[in-house]
């Protein structure tokens, strides 16, 4: 039996919590095969990003070309892009596969405050990649930032009409606005679809699960977007893919604090600031009992 291939284009996180590593674990945990193309190497641990080293554009393009000529890619997840050179190269690659679903997680800044997309690359992202995406998955701060950058700022209440106006200006057909950063008791994510190049809503659906109080939630956005890409590669509808991916992330988050790596000893106060990754293999636990 062959496995569907899901390509992750993202940054390298040596601590294993986010980026390519989170995507790779997610894709395999959900029964697909992970192809991974690195945009930049980060130096980081559970206490934050220390440095970012973008890869040469030619090395990035060569990875895409090597995979593109050998694998049938079922879906693509895009995370940290680092700079405009990677975006332009990726946009050209995507032109060769117009029907492959693309899920784009607009990774702009790490939780610890390091820029993961060079600010001057934002316009290139908007013009060259967003119109090609099947689904854009921003959290609220990312959505507000994108909206502001195209001159249609959103207010905190985020009305549907403002969002659809913004989607139309960005050329985005399907949006999953994640609620993880809101204060609501349930972490509601809002899936909004419009007809291409109009503000006519074709789908508006909320996905809600109880909010979890978890210390180790690094790479949650990466995991969600990779899981959605897997389910799209498996032939699910957008709504099914989001529902199943959210359930996967919820369980991986619920078990994150009990399944951390063995860390070096530091003071309790410092240890409380650690942000490790999720437990991606919660589904396989029964295999080891």
Under the rule (CB under 6 A), what is the footprint of ligand PLP?
A: 10-11, 13, 18-19, 42, 44, 49, 79-80, 107, 110-111, 116, 218-222
Tokens 């060769």, residue located: 96
| 270 CB neighbour count, 10 Å cutoff | 10
Q: Would you say 46 or 168 has its CB closer to ligand PLP?
A: 46
Nearest residue (CB) to ligand PLP, 159 versus 273: 273
Minimum distance from CB of 204 to ligand PLP (Å)? 25
User: What is the greatest pairwise CA distance in the chain?
Assistant: 55
- Beta-carbon contacts of 251 under 8 Å, excluding residues fewer than 6 positions away, are 282, 283
Nearest residue (CB) to ligand PLP, 86 versus 218: 218
Please say whether the beta carbons of 60 and 37 come within 8 A. Answer: yes
- Strands, sheet with 201-207, edge to edge from the N-terminal-most edge strand: 48-54, 33-45, 5-12, 73-78, 102-104, 135-136, 174-177, 189-194, 201-207
Burial of residue 238 (CB within 10 Å: 0-12, 13-18, 19+) is buried
Q: Which is nearer to ligand PLP, 10 or 167 (CB)?
A: 10
Between residues 19 and 54, which has the closer beta carbon with respect to ligand PLP? 19
Shortest distance, position 289 Cβ to ligand PLP, whole Å: 30
111 or 205: whose CB is closer to ligand PLP?
111
The distance of closest approach from Cβ of residue 10 to ligand PLP in the complex, given in angstroms and rounded to an integer, is 6
φ, ψ of residue 96 to 5 degrees: the values are -80, -15
CB of 40 to ligand PLP, least distance (A): 7
Considering the complex, what minimum distance in angstroms separates the CB of residue 287 from ligand PLP? 27
Which distant-in-sequence residues (6+ apart) come within 8 Å of 102 by Cβ?
75, 76, 77, 78, 94, 132, 133, 134, 135
* Least Cβ distance, residue 151 to ligand PLP (angstroms): 26
End-to-end CA distance of the chain: 27
Minimum CB–partner distance for residue 110 and ligand PLP (Å): 3
Structure tokens at 91: 């946009």
CB-nearer residue toward ligand PLP: 234 or 251: 251
Paired with 33 in beta bridges are: 5
Strand partners, 48: 45
């Amino acid at each position: 039996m062959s496995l569907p291939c899901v390509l992750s284009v993202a940054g390298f996180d040596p601590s294993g919590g986010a980026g390519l590593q989170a995507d790779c674990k997610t894709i395999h945990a959900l029964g697909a095969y992970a192809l991974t193309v690195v945009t930049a190497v980060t130096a980081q641990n559970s206490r934050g990003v220390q440095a970012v080293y973008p890869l040469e554009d030619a090395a990035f393009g060569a990875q895409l070309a090597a995979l593109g000529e050998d694998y049938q890619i079922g879906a693509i997840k895009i995370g940290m892009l680092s700079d405009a050179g990677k975006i332009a190269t990726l946009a050209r690659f995507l032109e060769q596969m117009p029907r492959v679903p693309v899920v784009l997680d607009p990774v702009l800044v790490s939780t610890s405050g390091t820029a993961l997309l060079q600010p001057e690359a934002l316009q290139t992202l908007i013009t060259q990649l967003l119109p090609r995406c099947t689904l854009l998955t921003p959290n609220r701060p990312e959505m507000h930032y994108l909206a502001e950058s195209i001159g249609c700022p959103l207010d905190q209440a985020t009305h549907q009409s403002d969002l659809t106006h913004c989607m139309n200006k960005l050329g985005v057909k399907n949006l999953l606005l994640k609620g993880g950063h809101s204060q609501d008791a349930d972490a509601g994510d809002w899936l909004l679809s419009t007809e291409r190049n109009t503000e006519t809503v074709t789908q508006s659906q909320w996905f809600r699960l109880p909010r979890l109080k978890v210390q180790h939630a690094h790479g949650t956005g990466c995991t969600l977007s990779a899981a959605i890409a897997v389910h799209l590669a498996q032939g699910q509808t957008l709504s099914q893919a989001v529902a199943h991916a959210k359930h996967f992330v919820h369980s991986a988050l619920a078990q994150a604090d009990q399944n951390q790596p063995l860390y070096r000893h530091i003071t309790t106060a410092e240890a409380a600031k650690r942000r490790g990754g999720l437990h991606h293999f919660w589904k396989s636990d029964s295999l080891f009992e």
